[in-house]
């Protein structure tokens, strides 16, 4: 049985091999973990591994994270951008950074990540930090962190292929595939992997009532295509040291379904498509043992992000001639790295220190009315440039053999060096620049009161800097820039318990309270016409709740488990007395059982339950949507070198929405196969 670990699995002080985990997880790409799993083969912690991704058919990140208590995914609050956000205990994509192998994925303009663009079938695991994200891992983790950990070979020669189809009733909607090949030799390894998803469309529930905008069946504008490749080579000169160079590239394109209740569309500039949404990362990771009680880790990276948004005249998506139609092109780069060192000061005292730096450059250009014969125009390139620094210290003190005390502090600084904009009145001009800084502090106590059991408590006070979008975007002429926008701060409190009940069973519970200050809110500053808004630090709030998880093998052939989350969010905005926090239900649960009538065959029914959540309404106001009970089922047969599975999602064909006017998928089926060697 795995024992409950201390708060930190320290990377090298007595770490043993950094060169590879037995399960093929790329350990060099992990972020700081607060504890290992309390038992083998359970689903009660904040890690989703590749077995769970397969068994519950979660091929995109926004679906996979819903297996974890306290985490939900939702449609973007007004739905217009066709983006899926992830909320961790109420904190969204601006407060919970996303990384791949510990390297942050950051979009310098607005960081409006669409989590449904990230495929999961070729990953080793998804790490999710809730509330307490170590300052060692860099700035921005106000509400937690998400890290996608890739795989690494463990055999001299190995590989895997996956393929699958999905659809609704007799309607074939798309397919997906993934492949990996690698080699592990005495002092080096190499691997290449990739995944691809091609969706022609998806279908709404048969219970959906057609409207003038959406006639039912195939959801208009619901196509998407996404792929990712990852390649890595590594040098492992001994049992503790590792040096790795990795490259990740992913590309996506998608449509944007319209709000089914807006006829004609409001605003009229609503016919959007993303012809490309591309991210590339080149990164170096290393770990070097320095004697018996110290280590040095380095991370270097170079990122690019290329994005295009096209706005069309009408539902034919053929011309872009009307006023306000455009082709918006983003071209972003980022580079930087970190140096981390750790040392055992005494047998009971360990200190870690790290310095992070990144530079982000955002370049954008609009082609206005590009298909108009006389009124088309091209804006000059507009550029923003900013530097971000972080210096952090973290100390782990073993008060007793069973109690660990961890204290961390960091200083973060953001320096905006250039912020250009263009309009027909001022031509190309620069906004006022400047910077902001913040001090972050956190602490935790972990008590392993018995073999395979622990109690813990933590406090974490973290900040995040506003994005360029929040500070300067005019949002198509409807917003006033605010260059002096300040940082948000979240102070997160948690008390938790977890225990292993035998080798393959466990229970856990957590109570959390998050105090949020200086929240960045969009407020109306002019009633118009036209109505104008501005991002301001006017919100204060609290998020609190409980999480319960359990997973048990009650019989040799039967495993049952699941989790439940209660979350309450209250935000006070003096300028918006009727403001409602969107995107999160108060009650959410995931339940499953896995029955093996014989060794190679598994039947896995599961159910997802959520009550209402608030959603924005176009034109102002809020409405409650989103209550659902989704029944899912998978049949799986596993042989020595291959597995096959068939099943379905939302078997009752429930008709529901996560954002007002944007119905979700109805009943779907899938069939998939994988082989490994």
pLDDT in tens, 121-155: 999 999 999 999 999 999 999 999 999 999 999 99
CATH of the domain at 138: 2.40.170.20
As a whole-number percent, the residues of the chain with pLDDT over 90 amount to 82
> Kindly report the CA angle at 641 between 638 and 646, in degrees rounded to 5?
35
CA dihedral 184, 186, 187, 189 (to 10 degrees): -10
In a domain, 83, yes or no: yes
Task: In whole angstroms, give the CA distance from residue 633 to residue 434.
Answer: 54
> Kindly report the CA angle at 582 between 274 and 509, in degrees rounded to 5?
110
Q: Which residue has the higher pLDDT, 23 or 318?
A: 318
In a domain, 38, yes or no: yes
CB proximity list for 162: less than 8 A, separation 6 or greater: 121, 176, 177, 178, 179, 195, 672, 673, 674
In a domain, 19, yes or no: no
Q: What is the pLDDT of residue 196?
A: 97
Task: In whole angstroms, give the CA distance from residue 118 to residue 195.
Answer: 10
pLDDT of 476 higher than 90: no
Within 10 A of 591 (CB to CB), how many other CB atoms are there?
15
Tokens at residue 318, please?
């053929």
* Residue 168 near residue 203 (C-beta atoms within 8 A): yes
Q: What is the pLDDT of residue 6?
A: 29
Q: What is the pLDDT of residue 630?
A: 98
Q: What is the pLDDT of residue 18?
A: 43
pLDDT of 40 higher than 60: no
Residue range 466-485: mean pLDDT, rounded: 87
pLDDT of 10 higher than 50: no
pLDDT of 7 higher than 90: no
Task: In whole angstroms, give the CA distance from residue 118 to residue 282.
Answer: 17
Q: What is the pLDDT of residue 575?
A: 82
Q: What is the pLDDT of residue 39?
A: 55
pLDDT of 253 higher than 90: yes
Residue range 487-511: mean pLDDT, rounded: 93
State how many domains the chain has.
1
Please tell me the least confidently modeled range out of 39-48, 439-448, 537-546.
39-48
Q: What are the C-alpha distances in Å from 392 to residues 409, 464, 466, 482, 623?
A: 6, 15, 20, 29, 42
In a domain, 345, yes or no: yes
Q: What is the pLDDT of residue 24?
A: 86
Task: In whole angstroms, give the CA distance from residue 50 to residue 64.
Answer: 10
Q: What is the pLDDT of residue 565?
A: 98
* The length of the chain, given as a count of residues: 677
Query: Which tens digits make up the pLDDT trace of 547-604?
Result: 999 999 999 999 999 999 999 999 998 888 888 999 999 999 999 999 999 999 999 9
Query: Which tens digits make up the pLDDT trace of 63-113?
Result: 999 999 999 999 987 888 999 999 999 999 999 999 999 999 999 999 999
Q: What is the pLDDT of residue 16?
A: 37
* Residue 385 near residue 358 (C-beta atoms within 8 A): no
Q: What is the pLDDT of residue 478?
A: 82
Tally of CA atoms within 13 A in the half-sphere of 311 that contains its CB: 20
In a domain, 507, yes or no: yes
* Domain with 233 in it: 27-676
* Residue 197 near residue 119 (C-beta atoms within 8 A): yes
Query: Which tens digits make up the pLDDT trace of 600-626?
Result: 999 999 999 999 999 988 777 899 999
Residue range 340-358: mean pLDDT, rounded: 96
pTM reported for the whole predicted model: 0.94
In a domain, 49, yes or no: yes
In a domain, 464, yes or no: yes
* Residue 563 near residue 549 (C-beta atoms within 8 A): yes
Q: What is the pLDDT of residue 526?
A: 83
Helices first, then strands: H and E counts in the chain: 3, 35
Q: What is the pLDDT of residue 131?
A: 93
DSSP reduced 3-state for 29? helix
CA dihedral 643, 649, 651, 653 (to 10 degrees): -150
pLDDT of 261 higher than 90: yes
In a domain, 9, yes or no: no
């Amino acid at each position: 049985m795995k024992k409950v670990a201390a708060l930190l699995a320290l990377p090298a002080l007595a770490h043993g091999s950094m060169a590879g985990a037995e399960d093929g997880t790329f350990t060099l790409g992990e972020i700081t973990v607060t504890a290992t799993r309390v038992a083998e083969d359970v689903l009660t912690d904040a890690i989703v591994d590749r077995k769970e991704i397969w068994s519950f058919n979660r091929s995109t990140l926004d679906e996979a994270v819903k297996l974890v208590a306290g985490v939900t995914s939702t449609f973007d609050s007004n739905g217009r951008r066709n983006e899926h956000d992830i909320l961790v205990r109420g904190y969204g994509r601006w407060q919970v950074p996303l990384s791949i192998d510990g390297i942050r994925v950051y979009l310098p303009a607005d960081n409006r990540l669409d989590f449904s663009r990230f495929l999961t079938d070729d990953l080793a695991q998804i790490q999710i930090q809730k509330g307490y994200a170590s300052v060692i891992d860099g700035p921005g983790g106000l509400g937690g962190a998400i890290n996608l950990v890739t795989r690494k070979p463990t055999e001299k020669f190995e590989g895997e292929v996956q393929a699958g189809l999905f659809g609704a009733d007799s309607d074939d909607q798309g397919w997906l595939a993934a492949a990996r090949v690698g080699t592990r030799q005495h002092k080096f390894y190499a691997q290449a992997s990739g995944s691809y998803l091609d969706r022609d469309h998806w279908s709404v529930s048969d219970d959906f009532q057609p409207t003038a905008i959406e006639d039912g069946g195939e959801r208009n504008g619901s196509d998407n295509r996404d792929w990712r490749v990852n390649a890595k080579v590594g040098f492992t000169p001994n049992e503790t040291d590792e040096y790795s160079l990795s490259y990740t590239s992913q590309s996506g394109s998608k449509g944007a379904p319209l709000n089914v209740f807006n006829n004609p569309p409001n605003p009229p500039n609503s016919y959007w498509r993303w012809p490309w949404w591309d991210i590339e990362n080149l990164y170096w990771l290393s770990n070097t043992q320095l004697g018996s009680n110290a280590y040095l880790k380095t991370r270097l990276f170079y990122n690019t992000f290329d994005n295009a948004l096209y706005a069309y005249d009408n539902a034919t998506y053929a011309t872009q001639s009307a006023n306000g139609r455009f082709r918006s092109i983003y071209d972003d780069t980022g580079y930087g790295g970190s140096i981390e060192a750790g040392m055992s000061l005494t047998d009971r005292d360990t200190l870690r220190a790290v310095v992070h730096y990144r530079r982000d450059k955002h370049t954008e250009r609009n082609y206005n009315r590009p298909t108009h014969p006389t009124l088309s125009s091209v804006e000059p390139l507009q550029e923003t440039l900013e530097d971000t620094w972080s210096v952090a210290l973290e100390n782990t003190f073993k008060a007793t053999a069973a109690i660990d005390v961890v204290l961390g502090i960091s200083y973060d600084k953001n320096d905006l060096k250039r912020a250009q904009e263009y309009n027909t009145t001022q031509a190309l001009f620069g906004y006022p620049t400047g910077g902001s800084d913040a001090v972050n502090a956190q602490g935790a106590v972990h008590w392993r009161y018995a073999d395979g059991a622990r109690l813990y408590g933590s406090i974490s006070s973290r900040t995040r800097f506003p994005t360029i979008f929040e500070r300067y975007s005019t949002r198509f002429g409807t917003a006033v820039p605010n260059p002096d926008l300040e940082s948000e701060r979240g102070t997160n409190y948690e008390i938790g318990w977890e225990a292993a009940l035998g080798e393959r069973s466990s229970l856990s519970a957590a109570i959390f309270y998050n105090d949020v200050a200086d929240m960045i809110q969009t407020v109306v500053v002019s009633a118009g016409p036209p109505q104008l808004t501005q991002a301001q630090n006017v919100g204060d709030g609290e998020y609190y709740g409980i999480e319960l998880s359990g997973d048990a093998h009650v019989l040799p052939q039967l495993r049952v488990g699941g989790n439940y989350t209660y979350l309450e969010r209250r935000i006070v905005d003096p300028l918006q007395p009727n403001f409602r926090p969107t995107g999160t239900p108060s009650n959410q649960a995931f339940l499953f059982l896995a029955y093996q009538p014989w060794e190679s065959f598994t039947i896995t029914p599961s159910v997802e339950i959520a009550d209402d959540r608030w959603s924005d309404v176009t034109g102002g106001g809020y409405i409650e949507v989103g209550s659902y009970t989704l029944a899912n089922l998978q049949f799986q047969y596993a042989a020595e070198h291959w597995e096959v599975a068939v099943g379905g999602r939302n078997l009752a064909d429930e008709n529901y929405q996560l954002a007002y006017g944007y119905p979700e998928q109805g009943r779907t089926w899938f069939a998939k196969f994988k082989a490994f060697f």
